[in-house]
Amino acid sequence: VLHTPGHCHGAVSLYAPDLGAVFTGDTLFAGGPGATGRSFSDFPTIVESIRERLLTLPPETVVRTGHGDSTTIGAEAPHLEEWIARGH
């Protein structure tokens, strides 16, 4: 269990190394972080969670998102700075 706050304070992602997958819920989607426009969410916090707890996983790890298509850590990692620049 990885604590990945940002979308909400208590958000977690579930890493299953034997499956080669991480279940990120609303923390990380294909194409970027989850929504942070609510009073209980925070963009800098979600980016820190993704950087420190998710992008450190092996690049081939499949990201099973809470909505939409799956992706991989390796596919999302190069875009971190873009997300920060866009600020959403």
* CATH number of the structural domain spanning residue 62: 3.60.15.10
Q: Does the structure show a pLDDT above 70 at 73?
A: yes
* Chain segment 16-59, per-residue pLDDT in tens: 999 999 999 999 999 999 888 888 899 999 999 999 999 999 99
Q: For residue 32, with 0-12 CB atoms within 10 Å meaning exposed, 13-18 middle and 19 or more buried, which class applies?
A: middle
- Looking at the structure of the chain, the number of domains it has is 1
Domain coverage including residue 49: 2-86
Report the distance separating Cα 41 and Cα 79, nearest Å: 21
